[in-house]
Chains A and B, each alone.
Chain A
Amino acid sequence: MSFYAIDAWWWPYLFIIVGGWFATDVWRFVGVYFGGKLSEDSELLVMVRCIATALVAAVIANLVIFPTGALAATPLWMRLMAGFAGFAAYLAAGKRVIVGIIVGEAVLAAGMLAQYDL
């Protein structure tokens, strides 16, 4: 039952509601309910945070290594170089996200300029 499995206008919305809204807001509501009872330092939460972080990291890596659309037209080494450069700049600038984004995008843009010979 994938996103495009059922050819009806409501199916994608149901997919988003169950797979997106419910799967996300349930944790926000759990948070309100337990407000104060659960310690942020508990060991269980450390493991949960580790899994959640790794999951999002896996998504990021797949977006860079197996991209779709226009990004797929760029060579892999160029995307990796832009990612590493952006991350290095982010660390060098004292963990400033905006610096990492700008440098990563600039390296990618420079690479594309050379590639397309614009």
Chain B
Amino acid sequence: MDATDGNTAETTGSRRYWLLRGVRSAFSIPGLILASAFVGFAGLARDAGLTLAQTVFMTGIVWALPAKVVLVGAVIAGNGLPAAAFAVALSSVRLAPMVVALTPEMRTPKTPAWVLYVLSHFVAVTSWVLAMEQFRLVPRPMRTTFYAGLGGTLVLGNMLVVAVVFIVAGRLPPPVSAALFFLTPMYFLTSLWGSARERAGQVAMVFGLVLGPVFHLLTPDFDLLAAGLTAGIAAYALHLIGKRRRGA
């Protein structure tokens, strides 16, 4: 890589160059995997009865894929707005620590606060992983520009993917649609396991996989919340017990 060291602000190059570097970073393996997950999401939303405009709007304005999948899950289940918002908020809490980790890396004393607030909208797993990986190659004053290019491309590109798939999906033969709908669970089944920060997260995932369908049968109106709280707190309790045993 020909990038300059993060400390030598004098040789930062032009803003346009770093914006385009950010745009180019979106076209990568993680970006491709994310696009395939959005292909699946478009099928899911279409199937839930959402319109093209609603689906594209949701893609741009919510952006985090788990939040959208939970929101569409609540739409399918016929949950009310407060229950849906609460479930989505719980699924999005994890964004706060991610932003906490990312912000100090791209802030300079001169960065206006509004820039950081606007850029935080682009934070989701893929852009976060790519940024944390590549920031060391980007001079510090250019990192917000780089991230704007990266995040903006991912958001706009996947809005386009969602729109195209939504239009095409209705004309696909049923087996192809079925394969399309299977992309979303397959993507999360693997990426969620990999993104778990500690063993407790993986235990929580296994509990959630089992309790989700159980609570769907028991309490269809609050299945996601009930499963998430029960499985999550049980996994955390095991984590605490394990910690005490190890003599912490």
Residues of A near any B CB (own CB < 8 A): 1-5, 12-13, 15-32, 34-38, 40, 45-71, 73-74, 79, 82-83, 86-87, 90, 95, 97-98, 100-101, 104-105, 108-109, 112-113, 116, 118
| A50-B233, A58-B223, A62-B216 known; A4 vs B96 contact (CB < 8 Å) | no
Q: From residue A19, how far is it (CB to closest CB) to chain B in Å? A: 4
Across the interface, do A19 and B178 meet the contact criterion of CB distance under 8 Å? Answer: no
* Interface stretch (choices B2-10, B136-144, B154-162, B205-213): B205-213
| Beta-carbon nearest neighbor of A69 in chain B | B47
| A40-B100, A51-B232 known; A59 vs B190 contact (CB < 8 Å) | no
| A50-B204, A112-B175 known; A23 vs B94 contact (CB < 8 Å) | no
Question: How far is A118 from B176 in the complex, measured between Cα atoms in Å?
Answer: 12
Known: A60-B188, A112-B179. 10 other contacts (CB 8 A): A16-B54, A16-B62, A23-B92, A27-B89, A51-B231, A57-B192, A57-B207, A58-B208, A63-B73, A86-B189
Question: How far is A74 from B79 in the complex, measured between Cα atoms in Å?
Answer: 26
Question: How far is A62 from B198 in the complex, measured between Cα atoms in Å?
Answer: 24
Q: From residue A34, how far is it (CB to closest CB) to chain B in Å? A: 6
Interface of A is mostly: helix
Contacts of A4 in B (CB 8 A): 49, 75, 78
Q: From residue A49, how far is it (CB to closest CB) to chain B in Å? A: 6
Contacts of B171 in A (CB 8 A): none
Across the interface, do B227 and A54 meet the contact criterion of CB distance under 8 Å? Answer: yes
Question: How far is A19 from B74 in the complex, measured between Cα atoms in Å?
Answer: 10
Across the interface, do A19 and B88 meet the contact criterion of CB distance under 8 Å? Answer: yes
Q: Is B69 part of the binding interface, using a Cβ–Cβ cutoff of 8 Å?
A: yes
Across the interface, do A16 and B71 meet the contact criterion of CB distance under 8 Å? Answer: yes
Across the interface, do A53 and B205 meet the contact criterion of CB distance under 8 Å? Answer: yes
Across the interface, do A55 and B99 meet the contact criterion of CB distance under 8 Å? Answer: no
Across the interface, do B232 and A27 meet the contact criterion of CB distance under 8 Å? Answer: no
Across the interface, do B99 and A109 meet the contact criterion of CB distance under 8 Å? Answer: no
Contacts of B63 in A (CB 8 A): 24
Across the interface, do B100 and A38 meet the contact criterion of CB distance under 8 Å? Answer: yes
Question: How far is A90 from B181 in the complex, measured between Cα atoms in Å?
Answer: 19
Contact digits for B180-218, partner A, Cβ 8 Å, 1 yes 0 no:
111111111111111011101101111111111101100
Question: How far is A24 from B36 in the complex, measured between Cα atoms in Å?
Answer: 22
Kindly identify which residue among B71, B182, B190, B211 contacts A58, using a CB–CB cutoff of 8 Å. B211
| Beta-carbon nearest neighbor of B88 in chain A | A23
Across the interface, do B174 and A70 meet the contact criterion of CB distance under 8 Å? Answer: yes
Q: From residue B153, how far is it (CB to closest CB) to chain A in Å? A: 18
Question: How far is A2 from B192 in the complex, measured between Cα atoms in Å?
Answer: 28
Across the interface, do A101 and B190 meet the contact criterion of CB distance under 8 Å? Answer: yes
| A90-B190, A101-B36 known; A50 vs B121 contact (CB < 8 Å) | no
Contact digits for B65-89, partner A, Cβ 8 Å, 1 yes 0 no:
0111111011110111110111111
Kindly identify which residue among A29, A62, A83 contacts B212, using a CB–CB cutoff of 8 Å. A62
Across the interface, do B228 and A20 meet the contact criterion of CB distance under 8 Å? Answer: no
Contact digits for B89-125, partner A, Cβ 8 Å, 1 yes 0 no:
1111111111111111001000001001100110100
Q: Is B131 part of the binding interface, using a Cβ–Cβ cutoff of 8 Å?
A: no
Question: How far is A35 from B100 in the complex, measured between Cα atoms in Å?
Answer: 4
Across the interface, do B223 and A36 meet the contact criterion of CB distance under 8 Å? Answer: no
Q: Which 9 A-B pairs have the closest CB atoms?
A: A31-B99, A58-B212, A57-B208, A55-B228, A51-B232, A54-B208, A54-B231, A35-B103, A70-B177
Contacts of A101 in B (CB 8 A): 33, 36, 183, 186-187, 190
